[in-house]
Chains A and B, each alone.
Chain A
Amino acid sequence: MNNNALHILLADDDEDDRLFFKEAIDEIKVKTVVTLLNDGVQLMLYLNQPDVVLPNVVFLDLNMPKKGGMQCLKEIRSNSKLKDLSIAIYSTSASEQDIEETFVKGANIYIKKPNDFGELKKILAEVININWQYHTSGLNKENFLLSI
């Protein structure tokens, strides 16, 4: 949130959801660079590029073809280069158990895709803000859990 833009990455197979996401992020008063990817395979390829600039936050849909969100989560957390990434699961509603399961598997944030655009904006702003706080105030990333 300094003069450098925030790098945000979204992996979601749904066209409309990508559209909503981009528009919402654009309307937030924060300088961002958004990368949109279509599925898990693309995501891992992107992240494993040798000179990649790692995003500040990765938003991950769970139900994607070819490689799903949970699989990506597992791979990211077991990769020494990527394991400190902030990961937000961005998915349709799930039971409390399933949400807890994503946290246990290493996600930092769980976002239930909202029904309202304004809500989405609020949520994304909150996520970016909290992530920034963690980044700048020396808070323990391991305890970074947020369920919205």
Chain B
Amino acid sequence: MKLQIKYDINTACKVIMQENLDRIGIPYEITGLGEIEIKGILSTGQYTDLEDSIKKYGISIISDPKNGVAQKIKDVIIEMVYLEDKLPSSNISDYIADKMNLSYGYIANVFSEITYTSIGNFIIIQRIEYSKQLIVEGVLSLTEIAWKLNYSSVAHLSNQFKKTTGLTPSAFQRIINKRKDADFKAVQTQQKLSTSN
């Protein structure tokens, strides 16, 4: 049987951090997306313990402040894309710079230094990523997805999709569907084998 799940990364990460911090017994306060204020002092042992236990979730503690800046920019962008804020068509970078209270030039540099890609490119990647998710969900039509992601038209979305992935959205959908079918069939044969055994 197949389950379709939707997940909210931010909540998931928050809960993981809370659980682990609670387990280790570290008093804390979550002050923002990807930001936790540790009350008191963290021993090296505790730090390593925390680091190790959250590593398997793909969560790491950012050491470099630049990492923090880059991470914050990422979070802002993700929020913009996924939480349906109207993407200000121009001035995205200005918008982010304002939000973070830093100059645009600075954040642009830090971002590309840390992530090896531009802010603009990252935004595109995120949007295309979200559209992939929506296509896989299969609930919304391509037009609705384009509207939801603030593209001026379906053609615009398709173009950007193709430029980014090399595939048209329909080809992408086709492949995902065929994959699902193949997986389903594999599970079926496995079930058959197990029941016959």
Instruction: Say whether A and B bind each other.
Output: yes
Q: Which residues of B in the span 158-175 have a Cβ within 8 Å of any Cβ on A?
A: 165-167, 171-172, 174-175
Query: Is the C-beta of B17 less than 8 angstroms from some C-beta in chain A?
Result: no
Is A100 a contact of B58 with CB atoms below 8 Å?
no
Which of chain A's residues have a CB closer than 8 A to the CB of B116? 1, 129, 132
Which of chain B's residues have a CB closer than 8 A to the CB of A148? 166
Query: Is the C-beta of A4 less than 8 angstroms from some C-beta in chain B?
Result: no
Is B129 a contact of A140 with CB atoms below 8 Å?
yes
Q: Which of A133, A140, A143, A145 contacts B115 (CB 8 A)?
A: A133
Assuming A138-B58, A140-B133, A143-B132, is B174 touching A133 (CB within 8 A)?
A: no
Which of chain B's residues have a CB closer than 8 A to the CB of A104? 175, 178-179, 182
Is A100 a contact of B115 with CB atoms below 8 Å?
no
Query: Is the C-beta of A71 less than 8 angstroms from some C-beta in chain B?
Result: no
Assuming A136-B115, A138-B58, is B182 touching A147 (CB within 8 A)?
A: no
Query: Closest CB of chain A to B96's CB: distance in Å?
Result: 16
Which of chain A's residues have a CB closer than 8 A to the CB of B126? 137
Query: Closest CB of chain B to A41's CB: distance in Å?
Result: 24
Mask: chain B, 173-189; 1 = CB below 8 Å from A; 0 = not: 01110110010000000
Q: Which of B9, B133, B166, B179 contacts A146 (CB 8 A)?
A: B166
Q: A110 to B167, alpha carbons, bound, how many Å?
A: 10
Is A103 a contact of B175 with CB atoms below 8 Å?
yes
Query: Is the C-beta of B72 less than 8 angstroms from some C-beta in chain A?
Result: no
Assuming A104-B178, A148-B166, is B74 touching A143 (CB within 8 A)?
A: no
Mask: chain A, 123-148; 1 = CB below 8 Å from B; 0 = not: 00000011011001111100101111
User: Which residues on B are within 8 Å of A, measured CB to CB?
Assistant: 9, 58, 74, 115-117, 122, 125-126, 129, 132-133, 136, 165-167, 171-172, 174-176, 178-179, 182
User: Which residues on A are within 8 Å of B, measured CB to CB?
Assistant: 1, 96, 100, 103-106, 110, 129-130, 132-133, 136-140, 143, 145-148
Q: List 6 A-B contacts (CB under 8 A).
A: A100-B171, A100-B178, A110-B166, A129-B116, A143-B133, A143-B176
